[in-house]
């Protein structure tokens, strides 16, 4: 399906940067302890009709470097989100702005043959 909207390049670039930053943050978050603060682990009770026991190991909490990196990612995600959401292009639309915003999220994807 051909694009319905003619998004300005700076808006497309900001949306792509937002996608990439979110993906990088999610990948980084996978490497972090399960709790930002030091927390004791736990083991749940065995459930009826199951041998599975839920548990978590002790969490050492985030190091100062990890907390700084999380804050950096979050600040950049907020900045990029605001840049996309408040772009002047949106005020030029008279139709369904939500539909346009949804299309922008996929504007960087290659067109289907």
Give 75-87 pLDDT, tens digit per residue.
999 999 999 999 9
What is the DSSP annotation of 19-70? HHHHHHHHHHHTTS-S-SS-B--EEPPPPTT-----EE--B----HHHHHHH
CA distance 91 to 84: 12
Residue 80 has a CB neighbour count (10 Å cut-off) of 19
Q: What is the pTM of this model?
A: 0.83
What is the structure's pLDDT at 54?
Answer: 83
Domain boundaries in the chain? 9-39+51-105
Express the helix, strand and coil content of the chain in percent, nearest 5 each. 50, 5, 45
* Per-residue model confidence as pLDDT tens digits over 19-65: 999 999 999 999 999 999 999 998 888 777 887 778 889 999 999 99
CA distance 14 to 21: 10
Q: At what angle do helices 97-105 and 9-29 cross, to 10 degrees?
A: 60
């Amino acid at each position: 399906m051909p694009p319905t909207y003619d998004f300005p390049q700076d808006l497309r670039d900001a949306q792509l940067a937002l996608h990439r930053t979110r993906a990088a943050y999610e990948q980084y978050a996978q490497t972090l302890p399960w709790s930002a603060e030091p927390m004791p682990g736990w083991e749940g009770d065995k459930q009826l009709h199951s041998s599975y026991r839920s548990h978590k190991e002790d969490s050492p909490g985030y190091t100062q470097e990890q907390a700084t990196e999380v804050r950096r990612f979050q600040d950049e995600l907020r900045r990029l989100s605001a840049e996309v959401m408040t772009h002047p292009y949106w005020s030029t639309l008279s139709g369904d702005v939500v539909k346009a915003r949804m299309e922008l999220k996929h504007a960087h994807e290659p067109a289907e043959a």
